[in-house]
Amino acid sequence: MSDSMEQILSDVQRCRGCALCEKRTNVVFGDGNPKAPIMLIGEAPGANEDAQGIPFVGKAGQLLDDMLELIDLDRTKLYITNICKCRPPENRDPLHVEQAACLGFLRRQTALIRPKIIVCLGRISAMQLIRPDFRISREHGQWFDKAGVRMMAIYHPAALLRDVSRRPDTFDDLKRLQAEIRAICPEVYAGA
Ligand code: URA
């Protein structure tokens, strides 16, 4: 049977694969355009996301939208989701077991979207999707190729709220992202 976003969403909503399901208000499945060739992948929902069921809608999400606007992107041109679909308590990092329990859903989403570019938002996402020993301070903005997909990690927008000194580096990373989009999926900017 072929998979679909609706089927994955329904499976996530019924998931009891880790303890995070017990405290969730909503699962946070994904937002944006599932036909877009670019995926942005964060770590896990916070309080605002849990309340609304949409990724990156709090302060970090507002900053993310502002950052995307700098390179003429918005949520109609990409798909945003997280490694974990339920909120960890007190906004702690998701545990390895929680990430592992959720990863199958992300893999199914990725298989349907078939992105050309994946941007990992922060170190948790990069360690899960690029390399377990990924060092965000050294390797942000670099391109990696995995299974035919171009992958880059940038600082998590919440980290940029805490430490504004990282913003110029992130701006450079975004410019590199924009150049790559123009090179391998120019349709994203067509008509802009
Ligand atoms: N941080 C994340 O990693 N994901 C969200 O959806 C919100 C904040």
Q: 10 Å Cβ neighbour count for 9?
A: 16
> Which residue type is seen at 24?
R
* pTM, to two decimals: 0.97
What are the tens digits of pLDDT across the range 116-173?
Answer: 999 999 999 999 999 999 999 999 999 999 999 999 999 999 999 999 999 999 999 9
By the 8 A CB rule, do 107 and 41 touch? no
Number of alpha carbons in the 13 Å side-chain half-sphere of residue 127: 16
Tell which residue, 181, 166, 186, has the closest CA to residue 40. 181
Q: Residues lining ligand 1, CB < 6 A?
A: 28, 42-46, 49, 55-56, 60-61, 82, 121, 158
- Mutate which of 26, 28, 39, 43 to test ligand 1's pocket (most atoms within 8 Å of Cβ)? 43
Output the CA 80–ligand 1 centroid distance in Å: 10
Among 52, 54, 56, which residue has the most ligand 1 atoms within 8 Å of its CB, making it the best to mutate?
56
The rounded percent of the chain whose pLDDT value lies above 70 is 99
β-pair type (117-121, 31-32): unpaired
Q: What is the mean pLDDT of the chain?
A: 97
If you average pLDDT over residues 42-52, what whole number do you get? 98
In the chain, the N- to C-terminal Cα span, in Å, equals 38
pLDDT, position 192:
63
Q: What would the pLDDT profile of 82-101 be if each residue is shown by its tens digit? A: 999 999 999 899 999 999 99
CA of 43 to the centre of ligand 1 (A): 6
